[in-house]
Amino acid sequence: QKEVEQNSGPLSVPEGAIASLNCTYSDRGSQSFFWYRQYSGKSPELIMFIYSNGDKEDGRFTAQLNKASQYVSLLIRDSQPSDSATYLCAARDTDKLIFGTGTRLQVFP
């Protein structure tokens, strides 16, 4: 069974800090990884994807991938209360996505 694991949190950070969200995956053959954000009561939406080892930056968000360690992370710089949500990590398995359980992030003023 291919798995994606995340700490459920909550991860609490003060406004303006860097939030670091982590994810590990079991299938060494996985090549593509995705971060979705889900606000309470809403549906998930894609915020980042990463295919290559290293960092990928998009605004305040940076995705990091380390295939040797089977580790994916999402950094959110200058965290805002509006970033408070559950962040779902996903790995592509052929033609479908395997999701982690999500990490709940709380950004307090």
Partner 1 sequence: DADVTQTPRNRITKTGKRIMLECSQTKGHDRMYWYRQDPGLGLRLIYYSFDVKDINKGEISDGYSVSRQAQAKFSLSLESAIPNQTALYFCATGGSGELFFGEGSRLTVL
Measuring CA to CA, which residue among 41, 49, 39 is closest to residue 87? 39
The residue within the footprint of partner 1, chosen from 7, 11, 92, 106 (CB under 8 A), is 92
User: How far is C-alpha 72 from the geometric centre of its chain's CA atoms?
Assistant: 7
Q: If DSSP codes are grouped into helix, strand and coil, which group holds residue 80?
A: coil
8 in contact with partner 1 (CB under 8 A): yes
Distances (CA, A) of 103 to 29, 35, 78, 84, 95: 24, 11, 18, 10, 24
46 in contact with partner 1 (CB under 8 A): yes
Q: Which is nearer to partner 1, 84 or 104 (CB)?
A: 104
96 in contact with partner 1 (CB under 8 A): yes
DSSP string across 38-53? E-TTS--EEEEEE-SS
32 in contact with partner 1 (CB under 8 A): yes
Q: Which is nearer to partner 1, 68 or 95 (CB)?
A: 95
> Least distance (Å) from partner 1 to the CB of residue 109?
27
Binding residues vs partner 1 (CB under 8 A): 1, 8, 32, 34, 36, 42-46, 49, 88, 90, 92, 95-102
